Chains A and B, each alone.
Chain A
């Protein structure tokens, strides 16, 4: 359950390391499976100072009526940002807008996707759709991002 290492030397085949001129409306970003191990989630919780049992303890989460310990919504948003940075390392994220629709459980295989829905040649920006999908096919997060290129 790790994100693939970027292979920016060959963006055409890997999908990573693209520049503005290589991007077209309709392009799909590489599909990734982020690391949602307990260790990784704990690292994020330490950084965010959010030590809620619902993120770190399956039993405590189930006692709250949840299906298991949850991946924090903001961390899911972070996975999407990491995908964007690998996909277009020369770009700057101007905006990321995510709707948390379903609960994603830690220590499962999540799938994150992206697709280019608009490009602006004058502003040198692209707009991207983003999703986080759980192992049962349910979408936990939908969103969009705007990236600006030099």
Chain B
């Protein structure tokens, strides 16, 4: 989707932070498919049957499997344009709070947890931290993922 709005500048960041940090902006559901769970663990080179054998009594999703379960909107529709494109992935923090089983249906809620800027080898960067919290169909909080999106100013 083209975004013709003018890009935010460094001077806009305090107001953007004030407006958006703490805002929950999207919710989605994700069904845990055993085929994808196995493929993920296998691709990462794991051989532990807990993660690659659906018949194992403790079969569960890989600890960072929820990292790809993002809501349709990466940022709120009204969120200011910061830098070109989607930016790059600056890191992931995953809290593994309980096992995620095949067939579970997770509800993930997206919140903007932090916004800050810093300089690095590649220039001035804005870090937007998106926090996803995941609850299973029994209401149990099973995972939290903090995703640091880096946008270039």
Contacts and interface: CB of A to CB of B under 8 A. Distances in A.
Contact flag (A, B; Cβ within 8 A): yes
Interface of B is mostly: mixed
Interface residues of A, number: 38
Given A78-B62, A78-B64, A94 B96 contact: yes
Range of interface residues on B (Cβ < 8 Å): 20 to 34
B92 interface: yes
Interface stretch (B4-12, B36-44, B104-112, B131-139): B36-44
A98 B44 contact: no
B67 A85 contact: no
B142 to A, nearest CB: 12
Interface of A: 2-3, 5-6, 32, 34-35, 40-41, 43-44, 46-50, 72-75, 77-79, 81-82, 85-86, 89, 92-100, 143
Interface string B16-58: 0000000000000000000011011111111110010000000
Interface in B88-117: 88-96
Contacts of B41: 78, 82
Contacts of A49: 36, 68
Interface string B55-85: 0000000111001100000000000000000
A95 B45 contact: no
A99 B36 CA distance: 25
